[in-house]
Structure 1
């Protein structure tokens, strides 16, 4: 075990955007059993500390790889591309205008008399667009040439907008309940 490895190597999974989530969960459970600090309670302080570090790294890795957005960001990070910084990628004005319209649509749904069905339809539209971005990212990342990776970075930035909008939708759904 080495926490200097990338998440994929640490978990024994192939480096890919399209990962097997069942294999990720299975590998997590295996490593959690092996690395859990309780198994090291009777050992030296150094071994206890290492166990805690390995477990923290394992949790960090699984959290990143489970989320399609975080996984995409991490894959680009491995290629030296920052997609977390707000200024790292510039988006075209048409996309930003579309985002403003989507948020206005959500506000209109919130003000409607019966928002449930409109919200379901809106949520489906957002999920579909996010799914399309994920497919484009997967294709760009698989190509791995500089131009494709730069396009992948732009797509990740767009995915960030859509994931944030999904969270706003979920919050509104919670408020409706």
Structure 2
């Protein structure tokens, strides 16, 4: 195995944002079975260390590719772009306004202890997440618009935080 391979090469997948999760999962299981440290327990210590390094790399690559934000960040990194650079916080004004509305809706649902409002908000956030993922695939895979993709990655990351916050409010209201 070659430690210089990209995550996509490691799993034998095309380098693109649009990803076949079943193929990724299958390739992961196959590689994990091949490099799992338990298979090398009776081998010399050097081979055990290499197997552990491979298993670690396979796990890290899998976690990166299976998560939409991390996959976008990784693909942009391969293009020499740091999508999460702290100095680049540019976002479309319309997205910023929508973000404020979502935050207010979360606060309203929390204050009103309204599960119905929270359910509707959760549906809206997940739909927006899927739209941004589709946009990100278009920007990276087809248009090769990496500046636009960088902004979309930041938006997607924000959506993940909002969805997690909604989950926290669900927990608060259920307890």
User: Is TM-score (shorter-chain normalized) higher than 0.5?
Assistant: yes
- With normalisation by structure 2, the TM-score equals 0.92
CA drift of 1:174 comes to: 2.6
Distance 1:150 1:89 in 2: 12
Q: Is the contact between residue 110 and residue 173 of structure 2 (CA under 8 Å) also seen in structure 1?
A: no
Which residue is 1:108 aligned to?
108
Q: Is 2:56 the counterpart of 1:56? A: yes
Distance 1:163 1:18 in 2: 18
- With normalisation by structure 1, the TM-score equals 0.91
Of the three residues 155, 170, 175, the one matched with 1:173 is 170
Q: Is 2:164 the counterpart of 1:157? A: no
1:83-98 equivalences in 2 (<5 Å):
83-98=83-98
Which residue is 2:124 aligned to?
125
Quick one: higher RCO (CA 8 Å, sep 6+), 1 or 2?
A: 2
1:24-103 equivalences in 2 (<5 Å):
24-103=24-103
Deviations 1:135-157 (A, max 9, x none): 11111112354xx1111111111
CA drift of 1:74 comes to: 0.9
Deviations 1:47-66 (A, max 9, x none): 11111110011000110111
CA RMSD of aligned residues (A): 1.5
Q: Is the contact between residue 89 and residue 153 of structure 1 (CA under 8 Å) also seen in structure 2?
A: no
Unaligned runs of 5+ in 1: none
Distance 1:81 1:63 in 2: 20
Count of matched residue positions in the alignment of Structure 1 and Structure 2: 174
CA drift of 1:95 comes to: 2.6
Q: Is the contact between residue 18 and residue 137 of structure 2 (CA under 8 Å) also seen in structure 1?
A: yes
Distance 1:59 1:176 in 2: 35
CA drift of 1:175 comes to: 2.8
Structure 1 outlier segments of 4+, above 3 Å? none
